Structure 1
Amino acid sequence: MAVKEPEATKQLVSWFDTLWNDRQALRDVKAQLLENLTTIASEKPAQLVYFITLFNIFKDMIEEIDEENIIRSKTGFKDTIVWNKLYKFQKDGVLGAIDKLERHNGCIIADSVGLGKTFEALAVIKYYELRNDRVLVLAPKRLRENWTVYTINDKRNLLAGDRFNYDVLNHTDLNRTKGTSGEINLETLNWGNYDLVVIDESHNFRNNDTKRDKITRYQRLMDQIIRAGVKTKVLMLSATPVNNRMNDLKNQVAFITEGNDRALGDNGISSLDNTLRRAQRHFNNWLKLPAEKRKTEALLETINFEYFKLLDLLTIARSRKHIEKYYDTSEIGKFPERLKPMNVKADIDTSGAFPPLKEVNRAIKRLNLAAYAPLEYVRSDKKEEYSRKYDQEVSGGKSVLKQTDRERSLIHLMRVNLLKRMESSIHSFALTVEKIHGQIDNLLTKIEAHEDGEFEELNIEDIETDAPEFENFLIGNKVKVLIQDLDLIRWKQELSEDRDQLAELLREAKKISAAKDAKLAELKRVIATKIKSPINEGNKKVIIFTAFADTATYLYNSLHQWGADLGVHSALVTGSSGSKSTLGTIRKDLNSILTNFSPTSKERAKVAPEASEEIDILIATDCISEGQNLQDCDMLINYDIHWNPVRIIQRFGRIDRLGSTNDKIQLANFWPNMELDEYINLEARVSGRMVLLDISATGEENVIEQDEKKQMNDLEYRRKQMEQLQDSVIDLEDMDGSVSITDMTLNDFRMDLSSFMKDNLSTLENTPTGYYASVQPEIPEAVAGTIFCLRDINGKIETQESYALAPYFVVYVGETGEVVFNHLQAKKSLDIMKKLGAAKTVPDDIAVALVDAQTKNGRDMSSYRALLDVAIESIVGKSEEKGVESLFSRGGTTIAQDQIKGANDFEVVSFFIIKGAS
């Protein structure tokens, strides 16, 4: 008996019969399918393959990178003035920071100098203020006004319409329990009631010195603000939160995690301490490599992946190069061209009568500086009493910090200071010598009075050293010594020797008036030349930086009338002696002076539209070396060379900024009149210890005891840095021996994808794997080859638990079969894909034609199969010939899932062919 066909089967057979009989209908269906595929393949080929790659890598966090999920749009955040002032890259940074604050309770914005971290932070602050959160900003004292200006009803407040209402405290206010800071009463302040704390220059909190008895500012911030009261989010700003010491990040991250070592366990980081310790060990090993092998790539390949993950979770980091490469410069404006630095070597006086610097150095070395080491002269029978009173136990009593050692360190620093003052200006040197000479005179007078009088024998451990009745019997400030307990014969002799030598130095220094100051004469020559022959048409502006307020005041007094005769106004800005200006129509406060020096960048037209005159010569200390936009100016002069090159780079960042109206900018450095090697060796000899550059702590120096071999290595390291500064203007991340965390995070790719997904989500979801595109190598770092994005289908590939991209692997293989970037360098490959593909909305006809010719229009993909073999081998460490044999089927142009068979099965998500003349 026949079985009756189901009705559905009959209908299906009938439909196929109809199509078979009507060949044209079948062709129409096929044509429609091909048209759909062709639309995807031809409209945005390179752009689409870039975003398909990102979409797959980040598909498990689509909700996380969706802009609408990151910010609550009903707050009106996108209507604020500050949001609409931001460039695209800054908006991406803000969104990324808010996302990290919401997910992990904290974020470090580590964008390079000149990229606008302050405005990014202001946008984040406004977002949380719109959610009715209470916000505190902690800033270095010298940067306080940068923040308070946006909270006041003042014409200078360009964001007045946003009505910012955050509190501002100085970092140093955390050391106080009483008094006021601005309008805030520190005694009654509810420290634990802040929902968000923003820490400007957060690297200043990299150390948590638990050895001291008193509560440090770090501990106060942690215990009384972050841990106490309401749950507190922490946003930190620093151009250098980590560089030469990977562990610098530890105490900053602790603010975010509230000191919980396992806070990020769900994110693959089981222990923060172990992660940072391992990273530091890898970095230390890297530093031991020969200079020719000490490349960034070598470190990135060896460092533990959980460190990368930590940075990726908690930091936003973009560099100048990054912005120039990957963002539309027509929108953000260009950075000015950096001219080769001008190096000026000046003598001390025009007649050549004053001894050269190296002879002055010999005189400094001969000084006993006995006034700064009174414990060295305590009689032997009294030493134990002073040791009990002033020596401190550290490391839980395991060792002792002797006060005599502190005094020796102070003497080293005094010698360094004398040499620095000499380098700065003969005027500053004379002031310091005169001050020390006066202190010695006072000591000798006090000793003589003591010897002539009668006194009762006292014991240092029994008396109250701050009591006024004992003042005549004691010398010293914090550490006080009874005059009776000193070897007065020896101390007086060495004090007298110092007094006589200083008197001679002072006589010579005072002979050099401003009219005979050879360095000042060179400065006038450089400025006059610049005014007469501007670098950029009509621009007469110059900033002169010095480390010392005394030198700055001396320069202003010597230049302001001279400048007026040249037709330019001058101004002085220091943190201690205040501000001055020859422009009589303005207030003499910091912001008014800077606004009239850089009216375009400071938007003076909105603040004071009636103003017409400008300041052209600005003399300043490092009180403005951070956080200021002064890019109207096109020349910056370092009148003295700061021994920490980071500070020089920061200073130049005032004019080397986005939005500059200048085509070119010039750095000029004044050096001592000697060879660089001699200068570096002189520095080491005069200090007796090496003053090492700690590049992770902007502008601060650490004095570290060195063994001879290590000191030689550090001198060489220092010499190379100084050589770089003589030859070119460099970014922090380009400095020898430094590593930028820009190389270690993926946040920008997430923001890219978030933006693209708004209008293209369905395209990304429906595009098949195996998609590819061809482009030409239009940038220097791109070589002919293919970037493969592979997925481990079965989870059999062994990686470190915290490998950030698992189960995805991005490998760049050169056309000749070498691995350009392996899967541990995925960011570099993605960087190249972004640069070559993110904006390519039409096919690259030349590259497509080259690939078609090579593959016979896709029929012979053997050359790319071979490159894929190399990519897989680089991942698993062995050849996978069997697994790649069928990847490219005859007549096919894509690589499909399940085509790799073997011990480790991969899916080819996408591949990006770079083809053409390099």
Structure 2
Amino acid sequence: IDTIREKTWLNDTITPYELYLKFLYEYFKENLRKKDALDIQLPKGFMKLEYQHEAVRTLSDIVEAYNGAFIADVVGLGKTYIAAMYMQTLPGKKLIICPPPIIESWNDAISDFGVRSATVVSLGKLEHIKRKGYDEYQYIFVDEAHRFRNENTEQYRLLHEICYGKKVILITATPLNNSIYDFYPLIRLFQPANDSTIPGVKNLEEFFRKIRIELDKIDKSTPEYLEEVKRVSKVVRDRVLHPILIRRTRNDIKEYFKQDIADQKLTFPEVDTPHKVIYEFDKKTDAIFNETIQKIKKDFTYARYQPGEGLEDEYKLNDFAKTQERNLAGFMKSMLIKRLESSKYAFLQTIDRFIQSYNDFIKMYESGTVYISKKIDIYDYLDNDDEAALIKELEKDSKSKAYTKEQFQPGYIEKLRLDLDILHWIKDTWQQVPTDFKKDKFLKVLRTDTQLKNKKIIIFTESMETGFDLYNTLEKEYGNKVLFYSSGVCRYNRKSAGKNYVKELIHQNYDPKYSAPRDDIKILITTDVLAEGINLHLSNTILNYDLPWNPTKVLQRVGRVNRIGTKFDKILIYNFFPTSTSDKELGLENSIKAKIQAFHDTLGEDAKYLTDEEETTNHKLFGENFYNKLNNKDTYNDEGETENIQLKYISILENIRENNLDLFNRIKYLPKKARTARKYTVENPSLITFFKKGALNKIIISDGIKYEDLPFEDAVKYFECPPDTVKQPITKQYYDLLDFNKQQFVQNDVAEETVVKRGGSSNHKEVKLRIEYAIKEGRLTDVQEDYLKKVLDLYNAGVVLNETSKKIKNEIAKTTDSQDVYNSVKKNIPETYFTNTRVKEKTSESVREVILSEMLLL
């Protein structure tokens, strides 16, 4: 009898502290660090870091279970090295997709780590990858994966097709750019939207749709919205991301891998409080600035970029084309604002391009025929803020559809001419401004700030032309100690230089791991082309010459120098802010905030092109919040990020395993259905129960009337207690409460299975109806009908993208012929969706287990 009591759920000697540890063990036993050595060959001189090796082990388990994973450690912790080490362990061929600037870094990494059968390709070459074929690859690695968070782009559609059925590893330090919804498109690269294998979230589409609906109900400017964002973020982390995401901050590494970090004599630099560089317009220039802002905001119509708006009603574009034009106009508006803030030189260059574009368009209009492009996708240009390339693309692709000038409203040409007059006014007026106040202040700081003396400095600007102008100015004073690098133009030693040559100079001067070091470059001027995936930590000083509107780019810039292994103990950041003599009555800081607010307000709803960060406060406070954020050092590191709660509790378990093996083994062998009771501050006596079903963990607390499904972060607070916590007798109510919790678990499980059958966009539903009708009609061959049935299976699993359905819907809108439906579906659904299969675990067929329960008594 004693044995039965000890080894079964009848054991009533289990203390609350033991049950707490048992809860941690059962929840995290798959996450405990494995002691087996990884067979990884490290490059000569490369440190063996425990946190990186642990990530490789975890990554292997996640990819095996879910077909994909995120490597999302914060910048500077070596995500590329973790990925390269993992590749070493893999059979088969690997495809690495990354931004062009870091192709060289990836080639170096796979060479250094001896990775075989790996190909590195630019993310701009997805169409080329598709044409060439990608069936041979078993593993797809996507670096800077956050660039694909918008599933409504052609680039995303191509990537989804390439990734389908493969093992997919997404590498990004910033998976969450704008909203919690950003994760959904990325997860879809390795999980079907309606038939996911993530435990407890079979229908990802419905899960994220409900979150969006709940958030949309609340005013973003209220404290309630921020609280709701925190709540749903916790739910998303616990239910969706925990199984598939590796993310550690510097603080996590310092806390939970402290012994290894100490043994390796590694340190992490601290980000110093950012330095404010304030430049001041005189009264005349400030008046010109304010009038320019007003013209961009109110008078300029952007008619050249929205020709569809000028058509007579019977020729109007469809809603999709109208949206594309509005997006294009918004993008161009944001470019004017960014260049106005960046530099006088860049602004005037942009104005010249606008003038040329308007002149060409008016000439085309006056010739009698206007060509309107329908292909331009501005999202392809957003990352690089490259309006010059966009304008070229507009001109090149302008023969999409022809309209006569008689099909336009009479007032359209007047709008074009009015815009052109405004552009000429802006150009003529700014050419009369005798100086660039910002550049003058920059030069003064560079010459006089003692912290910049004898330092390697990196100057970031979003504008290639601002960088070019700064180089030409600094080169006169600093000679060949200055270098300019961008995707379009490189300058060194008073002349244009080849990109490969300049890139080599950068590595030699700024990358401590480079084999042929030099020390002749002191000032590196660059665009954000160098903000990703490159080591520059022989410098510790960053100057953000433009206002860094995009928080993601800010983190990436600082991440180039804030890297593990740097010799510096501090990172220095300089930000430039505008003010004016006219605003002195406001006070200095309020004047700066007013200027920032003016930029923002000029864009209105187009502010999304200025910054990709979701506004969670009153938009009238944007200037103040943005200014405060840029001057807070926590913005540039991970100190403001939520603690990795799960890593904390895994560490507790590992510490017990290391230092108290008897206790660890006692906890390990405590029986299933273990139970205890203790006093706790609750409204009514309650029971918290931990269930498992396959890989699904579910924790439910109830008092017999109401219940709550708890994320881990909330549940652990009920279990956590000190070793001397007194055990209370289990009351008779225990059995009723346990039955109630079981009922809730079963009902939730049934609801989760049922919701899979619902959902889908209107485009999906319409295409599915047409396919179903085509099958029932009986005019197709049996082979064609079988094919369409397989397509319906793909729809039910949530594999097909909305953009694909939209394309099919538009193609079959004016036909009733089932053969046309079949042909359109066959043309647009990738064959790989049928030939590549995904590993699936049928959670619904797993057995439900009660792992443990604890009574909480008054």
The TM-score with structure 1 as length reference comes to 0.63
**AA of the residue aligned to 2:419:** D
Cα distance in 2 between the residues matched to 1:507 and 1:748 = 62
| Partner of residue 507, structure 2 | 595
Q: 1:119 aligns with which of 52, 56, 81?
A: 81
Aligned partner of residue 451 in structure 2, secondary structure: coil
1:540 aligns with 2:458: no
Aligned partner of residue 197 in structure 1, secondary structure: strand
Contact 1:136-1:196 within 8 A present in 2 as well:
yes
Shift of 1:429: 0.9
Cα distance in 2 between the residues matched to 1:584 and 1:484 = 44
| Partner of residue 730, structure 1 | 635
* 1:368-379 paired onto structure 2 within 5 Å: 368-378=301-311
Long gaps (5+) in structure 2: 1-15, 373-394, 581-590, 671-677, 681-685, 702-709, 739-851
| Partner of residue 144, structure 2 | 201
Deviation string for 1:555-582 (max 9, x for gaps)? Answer: 1111122123xxx711111112245357
Q: 1:797 aligns with which of 674, 684, 688?
A: 688
Shift of 1:751: 7.5
Cα distance in 1 between the residues matched to 2:489 and 2:396 = 29
After superposition, the Cα gap between the structure-2 partners of 1:651 and 1:563, relative to the gap in structure 1 and judged at 3 Å, is same
Q: 2:34 aligns with which of 56, 59, 67?
A: 67
Shift of 1:447: 5.1
After superposition, the Cα gap between the structure-2 partners of 1:273 and 1:307, relative to the gap in structure 1 and judged at 3 Å, is farther
After superposition, the Cα gap between the structure-2 partners of 1:719 and 1:553, relative to the gap in structure 1 and judged at 3 Å, is same
1:573 aligns with 2:501: no
Contact 2:689-2:699 within 8 A present in 1 as well:
no
Contact 2:239-2:711 within 8 A present in 1 as well:
no
**AA of the residue aligned to 1:595:** H
> Which piece of structure 1 moves more, 541-550 or 369-378?
369-378
Q: 1:442 aligns with which of 335, 340, 360?
A: 360
1:308 aligns with 2:275: no
1:662 aligns with 2:561: no
Q: 2:275 aligns with which of 337, 342, 347?
A: 342
Contact 1:317-1:745 within 8 A present in 2 as well:
no
| Partner of residue 781, structure 1 | none
Cα distance in 2 between the residues matched to 1:354 and 1:652 = 32
Deviation string for 1:489-516 (max 9, x for gaps)? Answer: 6444443333333223222333457xx3
The TM-score with structure 2 as length reference comes to 0.67
Q: 1:81 aligns with which of 43, 59, 62?
A: 43
After superposition, the Cα gap between the structure-2 partners of 1:805 and 1:57, relative to the gap in structure 1 and judged at 3 Å, is farther
Q: What is the aligned residue count?
A: 670
* 1:159-170 paired onto structure 2 within 5 Å: 159=112, 162-170=114-122
| Partner of residue 255, structure 1 | 189
Aligned partner of residue 534 in structure 2, secondary structure: coil
| Partner of residue 36, structure 1 | none
* 1:872-887 paired onto structure 2 within 5 Å: none
In our comparison, the structure showing a higher alpha carbon Rg is 1
Shift of 1:315: 0.6
**AA of the residue aligned to 1:272:** L
After superposition, the Cα gap between the structure-2 partners of 1:657 and 1:825, relative to the gap in structure 1 and judged at 3 Å, is farther
Contact 1:192-1:226 within 8 A present in 2 as well:
no
1:95 aligns with 2:61: no
Cα distance in 2 between the residues matched to 1:580 and 1:490 = 50
Shift of 1:419: 1.9
Aligned partner of residue 556 in structure 1, secondary structure: helix
Cα distance in 2 between the residues matched to 1:482 and 1:242 = 43
| Partner of residue 171, structure 1 | 123
| Partner of residue 299, structure 2 | 366
Shift of 1:527: 1.6
* 1:718-757 paired onto structure 2 within 5 Å: 719-731=624-636, 743=643, 746=646, 750=650
Cα distance in 2 between the residues matched to 1:788 and 1:314 = 36
> Which piece of structure 1 moves more, 268-277 or 637-646?
268-277
Cα distance in 2 between the residues matched to 1:406 and 1:584 = 37
* 1:775-790 paired onto structure 2 within 5 Å: none
Contact 1:64-1:99 within 8 A present in 2 as well:
no
1:413 aligns with 2:331: yes
Aligned partner of residue 218 in structure 1, secondary structure: helix
After superposition, the Cα gap between the structure-2 partners of 1:718 and 1:826, relative to the gap in structure 1 and judged at 3 Å, is farther
Cα distance in 2 between the residues matched to 1:327 and 1:490 = 68
After superposition, the Cα gap between the structure-2 partners of 1:55 and 1:84, relative to the gap in structure 1 and judged at 3 Å, is farther
After superposition, the Cα gap between the structure-2 partners of 1:55 and 1:286, relative to the gap in structure 1 and judged at 3 Å, is farther
Shift of 1:547: 0.6
Q: 1:505 aligns with which of 423, 426, 429?
A: 426
* 1:17-36 paired onto structure 2 within 5 Å: none
Shift of 1:423: 0.6
Cα distance in 2 between the residues matched to 1:715 and 1:375 = 32
**AA of the residue aligned to 1:208:** E
Cα distance in 2 between the residues matched to 1:765 and 1:143 = 48
After superposition, the Cα gap between the structure-2 partners of 1:255 and 1:493, relative to the gap in structure 1 and judged at 3 Å, is closer
Shift of 1:670: 1.2
**AA of the residue aligned to 1:764:** F
Cα distance in 2 between the residues matched to 1:416 and 1:345 = 23
Shift of 1:658: 2.4
Contact 2:509-2:519 within 8 A present in 1 as well:
no
**AA of the residue aligned to 1:725:** L
| Partner of residue 382, structure 2 | none
Cα distance in 2 between the residues matched to 1:647 and 1:302 = 25
1:220 aligns with 2:150: no
Cα distance in 1 between the residues matched to 2:169 and 2:76 = 19
Deviation string for 1:349-396 (max 9, x for gaps)? Answer: x89557442222123232334333333433x3xx42x33xx42xxxxx
| Partner of residue 107, structure 1 | 69
| Partner of residue 774, structure 1 | none
Deviation string for 1:402-439 (max 9, x for gaps)? Answer: 53x54344334323221211111100111111222223
Cα distance in 2 between the residues matched to 1:91 and 1:477 = 52
**AA of the residue aligned to 1:371:** R
Higher relative contact order (CA 8 A, sep 6+): 2
**AA of the residue aligned to 1:678:** A
**AA of the residue aligned to 1:616:** K
Contact 1:341-1:669 within 8 A present in 2 as well:
yes
* 1:490-889 paired onto structure 2 within 5 Å: 490-512=411-433, 516-530=435-449, 533-534=450-451, 539-564=454-479, 569-578=481-490, 580=492, 589=501, 591-600=503-512, 603-604=513-514, 607-608=515-516, 611-673=517-579, 675-692=591-608, 700=612, 713-716=618-621, 719-731=624-636, 743=643, 746=646, 750=650, 764-765=664-665, 797-798=688-689, 824-825=713-714, 865=726
Aligned partner of residue 502 in structure 1, secondary structure: helix
| Partner of residue 173, structure 2 | 239
Deviation string for 1:166-213 (max 9, x for gaps)? Answer: 111222222346xxxxxxxx6443x1222211111222222322xx8x
Aligned partner of residue 142 in structure 1, secondary structure: helix
Cα distance in 1 between the residues matched to 2:233 and 2:458 = 41
Cα distance in 1 between the residues matched to 2:467 and 2:253 = 35
**AA of the residue aligned to 1:477:** S
Shift of 1:676: 4.2
Cα distance in 2 between the residues matched to 1:569 and 1:446 = 47
Shift of 1:143: 2.7
After superposition, the Cα gap between the structure-2 partners of 1:67 and 1:799, relative to the gap in structure 1 and judged at 3 Å, is closer
Deviation string for 1:610-667 (max 9, x for gaps)? Answer: x543311010101111212222212211111132233223222222232222222221
After superposition, the Cα gap between the structure-2 partners of 1:316 and 1:443, relative to the gap in structure 1 and judged at 3 Å, is closer
**AA of the residue aligned to 2:354:** I
After superposition, the Cα gap between the structure-2 partners of 1:808 and 1:243, relative to the gap in structure 1 and judged at 3 Å, is farther
Shift of 1:313: 0.7
Cα distance in 1 between the residues matched to 2:233 and 2:163 = 34
> Which piece of structure 1 moves more, 304-313 or 277-286?
277-286
- Percent sequence identity is 22
| Partner of residue 345, structure 2 | 427
